[in-house]
Every structure is written in C-alpha cells, then in structure tokens.
C-alpha cells in the first residue's frame, strides 16, 4: 500500500469509485503483476511522477493476479499495461516499461493544463484568421504555464500563418526531442518545407502549360505537385507524383516517392494516406 494521497490500490470493491473519480481528475491505471520484471521497473517511475505532479492525475494500481475481474473487464492480455482515463473515458494507453522521459511526454500530451483554455482560444482565433488575438492569448498562456509545449506548437502555427517561416521553425526547434515526433509538429514542419520549396518555383499556371505541351516534363509535374500540396489539394499532388513515378522513377533520385512519404506525414491518419500508400507500393513491385 502507498502512503501517497495521489496513489490508490484498485480492488473489486473500490473499482467503481475509482472510475467515478476520473470524472473529476485524470486517472492513470497501471495493470501489473508481481512476476513481471518490466512492471517492477515501470511502477516506481509512475509513483514518482504521481507525487511530482501533485494531483494533476491519480495513479491507480491494479494487481492483475489478485484483481483478475478488473483486468478482464479491460481485456488485459499482457503487463505492464497503462491506461489513462478522463471524464470516465479511456483517452490513451501504452504497454511495456517506458523510460521516465517517455512516460512524462505521454502525461504532458494528455493531461489538462492551466493554460489549455488560452491555447484553445488562440487556436480558435487562428482558425478565424485573427493572428494578433492568437498571439495575445499565447502570451498570457506562457506567463501562467511556461512549460506547456502546446503553447509553443500553437505559436509556431500562428507564426507560419503570418508568413514568418523562420520564426515558426525556431519555435519548433525549441521543443523537446520527444515532442518533435508528435504528428502536429511533423505536419507543420512538412508544410514549412513545402512552402520553402515552392517559393522559387514557377507559378502553377505556367507549369500546367508546360505539361500540356510536354507530358514528359518531369520537373513541371513535380513542381506542380508541390504547389498542390501548398494549396492543400493533396489528392491532386499525390496523383501527379504517382504519374511521375510511372514515367520517370529516377527523377531527382526518386523524389516522387520521397515526397509522397512526406505528404503521408502531413495527412496523418486520413484514409487518403492509406489509399495512396497502397497505390505507391503497387508501383514499387
């Protein structure tokens, strides 16, 4: 048993109370077993973080040997397994003994922060095209919560929308290494890279004219695809790059395939990415 007010042992008797508590405070539920060596490595990390975060989440420990009904309710097949609950719903999970830095990144990504309302205000202002209001909200957020990486990501997005590509890259470069791999960060870096590439290219109309006159103009096809990405016409861009792969696979050291992969990063889990990834692989074989 732990003496910490932020750590609880889950039993069949108190399980419902723990789940109800997740309506008020995030619950990190750790499924473990005494025979599991990775569990023994992970548990002290979770306990230390629960105490460090001082109530931003509660750690609920489930001994799967003693609480088989609870483990079965969540379909636990291997341990350690860690699930995060917010408002009574499971919002994220991981398995295996992650290092402290990875667990911390998992928590920071998912736990509510005191600055979240201001970050959401900034994002809403950005969607409305009011970059100045977005910057104002982010400045307030930074003052009350300087370690919230979502502020810096939103700042980079705002600067990019204002045309300050260098400022956006600088904001992204300041993020911790584990945050650099988040889909939102990778997508923004991709957009900045495509915008940079397109800056020295001919206008789309001129490229379309060149292709109409010479369908084998690989450079025009490739550059037009870059413009299509910047206008968020991803399907047209991918079609152009697939055609370039068919016609001139060696163009700029397989640039068509490499660029398609970058677009897939921009699309994330969009079904379009899976569809075109399959078509790309079919061309490779």
Catalytic residues: 36, 39
C-beta of residue 37 within 8 angstroms of C-beta of residue 45: no
Q: How far apart are CA 227 and CA 262, in angstroms?
A: 14
Q: How far apart are CA 250 and CA 227, in angstroms?
A: 21
C-beta of residue 175 within 8 angstroms of C-beta of residue 157: no
Cα dist from 202 to 191, 199, 257, whole Å: 18, 8, 22
**Residue 284, strand partner residues:** none
Q: How far apart are CA 133 and CA 24, in angstroms?
A: 31
Q: What does DSSP assign to residue 1?
A: -
Residue written as token pair 């450079």: 219
Q: Which residues contact 46 (CB under 8 A, 6 or more apart)?
A: 28, 30, 59, 82, 103
Which of 176, 194, 184 is CA-nearest to residue 157? 184
Q: What is the dihedral of CA 233, 236, 241, 247, to 10 degrees?
A: -160
Q: Which residues contact 41 (CB under 8 A, 6 or more apart)?
A: 97
Q: Which residues contact 91 (CB under 8 A, 6 or more apart)?
A: 84, 85, 110
């Amino acid at each position: 048993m732990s003496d910490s007010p932020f750590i609880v042992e889950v039993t069949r008797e108190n399980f419902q109370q723990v789940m109800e508590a997740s309506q008020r405070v995030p619950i990190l539920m750790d499924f473990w077993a005494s025979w599991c060596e990775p569990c023994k490595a992970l548990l002290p990390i979770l306990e230390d973080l629960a105490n460090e975060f001082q109530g931003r989440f509660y750690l609920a420990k489930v001994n799967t040997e003693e609480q088989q009904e609870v483990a079965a309710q969540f379909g636990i097949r291997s341990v350690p397994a860690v699930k995060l609950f917010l408002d009574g719903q499971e919002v994220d999970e991981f398995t295996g003994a992650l290092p402290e830095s990875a667990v911390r990144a998992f928590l920071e990504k998912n736990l509510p922060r005191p600055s979240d309302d201001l970050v959401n205000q900034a994002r809403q202002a950005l969607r409305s095209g009011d970059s100045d209001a977005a910057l104002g909200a982010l400045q307030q957020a930074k003052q009350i919560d300087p370690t919230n990486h979502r502020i810096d990501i939103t700042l980079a997005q705002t600067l990019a929308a204002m045309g300050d590509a260098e400022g956006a890259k600088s904001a992204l470069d300041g993020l911790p290494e584990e945050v650099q791999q988040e889909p939102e960060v990778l997508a923004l870096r991709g957009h900045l890279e495509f915008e940079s590439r397109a800056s020295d290219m001919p206008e789309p109309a001129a490229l379309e004219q060149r292709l109409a006159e010479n369908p084998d103009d690989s450079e025009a096809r490739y550059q037009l695809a870059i413009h299509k990405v910047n206008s968020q016409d991803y399907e047209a861009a991918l079609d152009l790059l697939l055609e370039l792969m068919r016609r001139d696979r060696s163009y700029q050291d397989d640039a068509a395939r490499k660029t398609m992969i970058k677009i897939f990063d921009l699309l994330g889990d969009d079904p379009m990415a899976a569809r075109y990834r399959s078509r790309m692989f079919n061309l490779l074989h």
